[in-house]
């Protein structure tokens, strides 16, 4: 290598070193540390911003979900009351008949008493006794009307008064009286519900359940052969801590392809304008919300049996999904 070449090589190396030195000088003291630290800090800021955005999104979604749940609960409450009003509409004509009968002899007896007291200044012992009997019948008729109105008020109450001990036998008897106008010309009604303990529930809601089941049983039987058909309601101890109620009829039964959908909302096998498809769905919701189960067995031409299990008062358990054994 010539001297000139060696000098050129040394000059180039010096220039490169000067360039590197200038670069480090521009960075200044501590710049190496800042480069190592600033990059993690930027990552942390990005991560924090991402967390804040995700948290805000979750809070918004949670608020929207809470609002939807409130709307769903309000809709469910309205649906329960709507079904109760539908049941009341179905029994309105029969209740009018039940009220008209005692009202007719109340008015007749009052007219008789009024005439007797106007025509006779002094009453014989026989007349006095007849008037007292007429007054007793009038009082009985008025009491009958009072009980019918009370039953209607119990069924039509819109508010949910919560869950507590309910006398199952009294609830079933009230529902049976309300459904008699549908059953009278279709089947004999047999009720065996005495001797069972109080159940955990709401008397108004349970009355809605058994009224719907009795009306469905009645409508599964054609009118005209009341002595040849039967609707039987039997309550007895079931599984430990529970009471079992069976509503059994000798009606037309349910076709196999319809049994799996029988508790679906708005599903009905009745003609258009006769059924809404809400009754059994509402019954199922009420019973399961009280910690019980509602199942069904049926065969075409052999009738149906609906089984309701309810927890005994004081032995309330969490609602469980019913395991129906379809046949």
Token code pair at residue 177:
């009286």
Q: What is the CATH number of the domain that holds 95?
A: 1.10.287
Residue 67 lies in a domain: yes
Do 145 and 192 lie in a common domain? no
Same domain, 294 and 217: yes
Residue 195 has pLDDT above 50, yes or no: yes
This prediction has a pTM of: 0.54
Q: Is the pLDDT of residue 40 over 70?
A: no
Q: Copy the structure tokens of residue 34.
A: 């800042």
Residue 37 has a pLDDT of 46
Residues 147 and 88 grouped into a single domain: yes
Residue span of the structural domain in which 289 resides: 164-312
pLDDT at residue 236, as a whole number:
93
Spatial separation of the C-alpha atoms in residues 237 and 244, rounded to whole Å = 6
> Does pLDDT of 67 surpass 60?
yes
User: pLDDT (tens digit, 9 = 90+) per residue, 261-299?
Assistant: 777 765 566 554 445 556 787 788 888 888 899 999 998
Tell me how far CA of residue 9 lies from CA of 17, 22, 63, 200, in angstroms. Answer: 13, 20, 74, 102
The last residue of one of the domains, among 158, 192, 214, is 158
Tokens of 127: 């007349």
The last residue of a domain, from among 123, 158, 193: 158
Q: What pLDDT shows up at residue 234?
A: 95
Residues in a beta bridge with 28? none
Residue 177 falls inside a structural domain: yes
Domain-located, residue 6? no
- Is the confidence at residue 319, as pLDDT, over 70? no
Segment of 78-87, 256-265, 273-282 carrying the highest mean pLDDT: 256-265
For the chain, give the mean pLDDT.
76
Following DSSP, what letter does each residue of 95-129 receive, concatenated? HHHHHHHHHHHHHHHHHHHHHHHHH-SS--HHHHH
226 assigned to some structural domain: yes
My answer on whether 212 and 254 are in the same domain is yes
**108, 129, 158 — which closes off a domain?**
158
Distance CA 246, CA 148 (A): 25
The phi, psi pair for 251, rounded to 5°, reads: -80, -160
What is the pLDDT at residue 272? 47
**Do the domain assignments include residue 229?**
yes
- Same structural domain for residues 221 and 249? yes
> Pick from 162, 169, 307, 164: which is nearest to 239 by CA?
307
85 and 169 share one domain:
no
Please tell me the predicted confidence (pLDDT) of residue 261.
Answer: 73
Residue 170 tokens read as: 């009294």
Q: What is the arithmetic mean of pLDDT over 57-61?
A: 87
C-alpha dist (Å) from residue 241 to 72, 169, 197: 32, 17, 10
Q: Which residues contact 148 (CB under 8 A, 6 or more apart)?
A: 95, 98, 99, 177
Domain count, the chain: 2
User: Do both 168 and 295 map to the same domain?
Assistant: yes
């Amino acid at each position: 290598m010539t001297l000139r070449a060696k000098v050129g090589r040394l000059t180039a190396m010096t220039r490169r070193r000067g360039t590197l030195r200038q670069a480090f000088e521009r960075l200044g003291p501590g710049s190496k540390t800042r480069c190592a630290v600033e990059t993690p800090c930027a990552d942390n800021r990005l991560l924090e911003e991402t967390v804040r955005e995700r948290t805000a999104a979750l809070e918004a979604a949670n608020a929207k979900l809470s609002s939807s749940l409130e709307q769903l609960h309000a809709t469910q409450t309205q649906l329960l009351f709507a079904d109760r009003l539908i049941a009341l509409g179905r029994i309105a004509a029969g209740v009018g008949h039940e009220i008209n009968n005692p009202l007719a002899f109340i008015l007749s007896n009052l007219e008789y008493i009024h005439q007797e007291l106007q025509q006779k200044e002094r009453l014989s012992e026989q007349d006095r006794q007849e008037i007292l009997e007429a007054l007793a019948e009038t009082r009985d008729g008025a009491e009958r009307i009072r009980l019918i109105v009370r039953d209607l008020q119990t069924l039509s109450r819109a508010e949910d008064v919560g869950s507590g001990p309910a006398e199952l036998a009294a609830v079933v008897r009230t529902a049976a009286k309300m459904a008699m106008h549908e059953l009278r010309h279709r089947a004999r009604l047999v009720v065996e519900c005495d001797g069972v303990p109080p159940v955990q529930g709401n008397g108004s809601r349970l009355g809605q359940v058994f009224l719907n089941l009795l009306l469905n049983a009645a409508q599964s039987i054609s009118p005209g052969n009341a002595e040849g058909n039967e609707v039987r309601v039997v309550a007895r101890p079931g599984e430990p801590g529970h009471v079992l109620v069976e509503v059994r009829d000798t009606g037309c039964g349910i076709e196999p392809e319809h049994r799996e959908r029988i508790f679906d909302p708005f599903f009905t096998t009745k003609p258009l304008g006769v059924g809404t498809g809400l009754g059994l769905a509402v019954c199922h919701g009420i019973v399961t919300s009280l910690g019980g189960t509602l199942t069904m067995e049926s065969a075409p031409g052999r009738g149906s049996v609906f089984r309701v299990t309810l927890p005994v008062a004081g032995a309330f358990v969490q609602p469980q999904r019913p395991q129906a054994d379809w046949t």
